[in-house]
Structure 1
Amino acid sequence: MQEKPILAVPVDARLEQSSTPRKTQIVVVGGGAGGLELVRKLGAKFGRKHYDIILVDKNLSHIWKPLLHEVAAGSLDANLDEVGYRGHCYRWGYRFFQGSLDGIDRETRTISLAPVHDDDGKEVIAGHTIRYDYLVLAVGSISNDFGVPGVKDHCIYLDSREQADIFRTKLLNNCLRVSRAMMANPGADEQVKVAIIGAGATGVELAAELYNAAGALRHYGLEVFDESRLKVTLLEAGPRILPALPEKLSAAARHELNVLGVVVKTETQVIEARPRTLITSAGETIDADLIVWAAGVKGADMLAELGLETNRRNQILVHGTMQTLDDDRIFALGDCASYTPDGAEMPIPPRAQAAHQMASTVFDNIVRSIKNRPLKTFVYQDKGSLISLSRFSTVGSLMGNLVGGSLAVEGRMARLIYTSLYRLHLLGIHGWMKGLFLMAIGRVNRIVRPRLKLH
């Protein structure tokens, strides 16, 4: 039997007879970069007196998705950088509910959440519903395996902190195996083989970060292990890596990867994944101890079942106001949304900067809607792309459509700007005071904490 919707205030006979007005309830599903920034702004704007801001997420904490490759390699301790929703909501005046979106009833303006279970399968939170006056879907994206056989069973995705932790554990176990084998037989030619499918930002950054981690392991108990024991193969179906960057920068990044020892294979399409083996369209077999799939993203399958219009990648189609095509009370932003500006051939790309800008537009339009004012149309400002090759290099293009993407940057300047992107994210979700404080703590941690997370 389905529970009654969770309302802004408890409903009983006394309240129903009371003249106390019902709070306006704004529900945001998804605590990623865009969703978390949005609820912070809404909470700071409206407070708790007349409005009830609710964040729903299946996890208990947030970590910036562009950092997951560092978590996977062990270069970043997610425990230090994650944001707990319960503490954050107390600070910024919204409420948090743990759960996964299970459906939307647009007639009653409620969403249903699936039950939450613990590791033993025991139900912790029963399935329930939440009322909304305005609903924002910001659930992000998942890896798109394009239906390639065996990928789901034999490859690791980097969509979440849990998946990054699984990869790191498997990586360290394989490094330990090779180290022990070489200690037992110094002449042995042992290697940890990692294959990465997809040479976009995630694949390229992970490949470089792995060599950074491998070079540091000798200081943490693996005395005979170094970068030469690591073999990373980066596979790309297209003609070059980092297709979003100008060809010159793509070539520069490939050169840096080659110097590190990464084997880069372009125009190589994977058609099947098997245990510890990949099969390409050319009939080549590639052996690997660990296989990472980073070849594209799509919306979660459940998005196509909500009764809202979606594209073939399960992304929700939205107007320029970020409202869904089917319901003006429902907004969508970030990777789960698809918006193609008038005159554009392609929709806005699923990138962190797009989610940040969309969150600002949705915030403005919810405020305008409440005040019965005309809504704004989202205008995407492409700030360019930056790719971090760990401590070795950074490449990218700045300003994007402001100067035609012609301002190329490399080296220390690019690294400084890349680091500033995360700092802007901290300011967006914490505000200026706490954001600056966390930046200072981050500098101290780089000095006093170990370089790698090994547990």
Structure 2
Amino acid sequence: MSILEPAIDTEPKIHHIIIVGGGAGGLELATQLGHKLGRKGKAEITLVDRARTHVWKPLLHEIAAGSMDTGRHELPYQAHGHWHGFRYRYGEMIGLDRANKRVHLAATHDEDGREITPDRWFHYDTLVLAIGSVSNDFGTPGVAENAIMLDTPEQAERFNRRLLNACVRAYAQQGPVRPGQLHVAIIGAGATGTELAAELHHAARGLVAFGLDKIDPEKDIKITLIEAAPRILPALPEHLSTATTNILTGLGVEVRAGSRVTSVTPEGVNLANGDFIPSELVVWAAGVKGPDVLSKLDGLEVSRANTLVVKPTLQTTRDDDIFVIGDAAYLVPEGETQAIPPRAQAAHQEASHLVRQLQRKMHGEKNLTPFKYRDFGSLVSLGHYSTVGNLMGFISGKSLRIEGWFAKLMYRSLYKMHEMALHGPIKVTLDSVSRLLTRRTQPQVKLH
């Protein structure tokens, strides 16, 4: 070889896989790839998230009601990555350079405005976007100023503080509780709104039981569940909607189906039919959309709900090196008319599918296996009162309706499946026993 010729690098370049978003799908994918590739030096796995800890999103209504100790369920990304063979990078994705295969992260700052991490770019060979969804207020006036959404643990905890403060304020004030002062309006009767209504009914009575005896939970505390569709849980089978409505109305929750909200004020909620629902505590849970950043990712195709359109292989339609899973993905299965719904079970299945397919892609295979979604049914937890649902495919493809104790067990098993994918059976068993014992020695609702 001539001394003028460039040296040939014979060392194989390590494959960089970046996963943006540490929700259910993103964290499960990072964990499994870390085990199979990261620990063995076959690839470098990096998880990016703007939060430092992970909380399973279906638990947010329990955090909002104060019936769950967040600290016992949140998982630090930094430690989990160290244990499971992937790297964690703190920051929010704000852009993408597809030509040079780079992800752009914004600078981060602490509560005093001091910079924590600078504006940065990270190179990838394969990119997986799993940044989830956010609430869609559909441009309704007053929502941003007067309602709280439940997209993050911080928002759920903020609502819980408002609820606790409202109860303490009503107890300490001179005179009786004002009309609407302790009323809660939940706008949107999907799974989140419906589950929150039942959980709040129990939690509010728990707060009163701890000494706030001036408040009459039956007279002063009122929960109204508002839904624009003709029935609550409109995306689920009608028999689930009927069963849930009967349970909620039996608890005293006012169910207002077929009611469209036109505005939210500091005093309450205005409906299209002219009715006004007085309420100083308002939760907005009416629909989801993709985060705004998805429409700014270097020309990737987005749906009307601002989610990224993907092929059956979960690759974006305009870049085969970029995959999307979870709520951020828009995929209409062959022969279907509706996209795969934004549910935790879909994110779990997509993550499991990509664990195998990304390894095939690393080995140079071009024809990846299409993803096939299996709907195992729907479950709605009504807290301490009941759980209703249907399980799919048990009897010749038909659904099996379940309710009560067995349904509640199945609902809890979904969270255990998620934990199992992250930790394995031994740690999950020990954690479950620990939580059970601790729960016996603590108040059933959050009091601080």
The answer to whether the superposition gives a TM-score over 0.5 is yes
**Out of 343, 349, 371, which is 1:351 matched to?**
343
Q: Equivalent residue for 1:7?
A: none
In the TM superposition, what whole-angstrom CA distance separates every residue of 1:121-176 from its partner, at most 9, and x where no partner exists?
Answer: 22211110111011000000000111112211211100000100110000001111
1:263 and 2:219 correspond: no
Q: CA deviation at 1:283?
A: 1.4
**Out of 423, 427, 440, which is 1:430 matched to?**
423
Question: SS at 2:315's partner residue?
Answer: coil
AA partner of residue 59 (structure 2):
L
TM-score in terms of structure 1 length: 0.92
Kept in 1, the 8 Å contact 2:180–2:278? The answer is: no
1:419 and 2:409 correspond: no
Q: 1:369 to 1:432 in 2, by over 3 A?
A: same
Structure 1: distance between partners of 2:82 and 2:127: 21
AA partner of residue 273 (structure 1):
V
Q: 1:128 to 1:217 in 2, by over 3 A?
A: same
**Out of 189, 193, 199, which is 2:183 matched to?**
193
In the TM superposition, what whole-angstrom CA distance separates every residue of 1:24-61 from its partner, at most 9, and x where no partner exists?
Answer: 11100000000000000000001342321000000000
Kept in 2, the 8 Å contact 1:197–1:293? The answer is: yes
Kept in 2, the 8 Å contact 1:214–1:226? The answer is: no
Kept in 2, the 8 Å contact 1:276–1:291? The answer is: no
CA-atom RMSD in angstroms? 1.9
Q: Single out whichever of 248-257 and 304-313 deviates more from structure 2.
A: 248-257
Q: 1:187 to 1:318 in 2, by over 3 A?
A: closer
Question: SS at 2:157's partner residue?
Answer: helix
Q: CA deviation at 1:17?
A: 8.6
Kept in 1, the 8 Å contact 2:181–2:280? The answer is: no
What is the correspondence of 1:10-89 to structure 2 with a 5 Å cutoff? 19-48=10-39, 49-89=41-81
Q: Equivalent residue for 1:251?
A: 242
Structure 2: distance between partners of 1:316 and 1:43: 25
Q: Single out whichever of 343-352 and 209-218 deviates more from structure 2.
A: 209-218
Q: CA deviation at 1:453?
A: 1.8
What is the correspondence of 1:35-434 to structure 2 with a 5 Å cutoff? 35-48=26-39, 49-181=41-173, 185=175, 192-225=182-215, 227-228=217-218, 229-306=220-297, 307-373=299-365, 374-399=367-392, 406-434=399-427
AA partner of residue 313 (structure 1):
A
Q: 1:296 to 1:57 in 2, by over 3 A?
A: same
Kept in 2, the 8 Å contact 1:322–1:333? The answer is: yes
Q: CA deviation at 1:401?
A: 9.2
In the TM superposition, what whole-angstrom CA distance separates every residue of 1:276-299 from its partner, at most 9, and x where no partner exists?
Answer: 322111111111111111010010
Q: Single out whichever of 368-377 and 397-406 deviates more from structure 2.
A: 397-406
Structure 2: distance between partners of 1:320 and 1:83: 31
Structure 1: distance between partners of 2:178 and 2:123: 63
AA partner of residue 428 (structure 1):
A
Question: SS at 1:256's partner residue?
Answer: helix
Question: SS at 1:329's partner residue?
Answer: strand
Q: Equivalent residue for 1:444?
A: 437
AA partner of residue 362 (structure 2):
I
Question: SS at 2:149's partner residue?
Answer: coil
In the TM superposition, what whole-angstrom CA distance separates every residue of 1:219-239 from its partner, at most 9, and x where no partner exists?
Answer: 434234453231111101011
Percent identity (aligned):
47
Q: Single out whichever of 186-195 and 301-310 deviates more from structure 2.
A: 186-195
Q: Single out whichever of 29-38 and 251-260 deviates more from structure 2.
A: 251-260
AA partner of residue 248 (structure 1):
H
Q: CA deviation at 1:388?
A: 0.6
Question: SS at 1:399's partner residue?
Answer: strand
In the TM superposition, what whole-angstrom CA distance separates every residue of 1:326-375 from its partner, at most 9, and x where no partner exists?
Answer: 11110000000010011110100001100100111121110111123441
Structure 1: distance between partners of 2:265 and 2:398: 40
Structure 1: distance between partners of 2:177 and 2:66: 28
AA partner of residue 424 (structure 2):
G
Q: CA deviation at 1:243?
A: 1.7
AA partner of residue 194 (structure 1):
V
Q: CA deviation at 1:405?
A: 5.4
Q: Equivalent residue for 2:3?
A: none
Structure 1: distance between partners of 2:322 and 2:62: 34
In the TM superposition, what whole-angstrom CA distance separates every residue of 1:88-112 from its partner, at most 9, and x where no partner exists?
Answer: 0010010000000011111111111
Q: 1:402 to 1:101 in 2, by over 3 A?
A: farther
Structure 1: distance between partners of 2:236 and 2:399: 10
Kept in 1, the 8 Å contact 2:313–2:369? The answer is: yes
Q: CA deviation at 1:448?
A: 2.4
Structure 1: distance between partners of 2:248 and 2:393: 24
Q: CA deviation at 1:404?
A: 5.2
Kept in 1, the 8 Å contact 2:66–2:446? The answer is: yes
Q: CA deviation at 1:402?
A: 7.3
Kept in 1, the 8 Å contact 2:179–2:278? The answer is: no
Q: CA deviation at 1:316?
A: 0.3
Q: Which runs of 5+ in 1 are unaligned?
A: 1-15
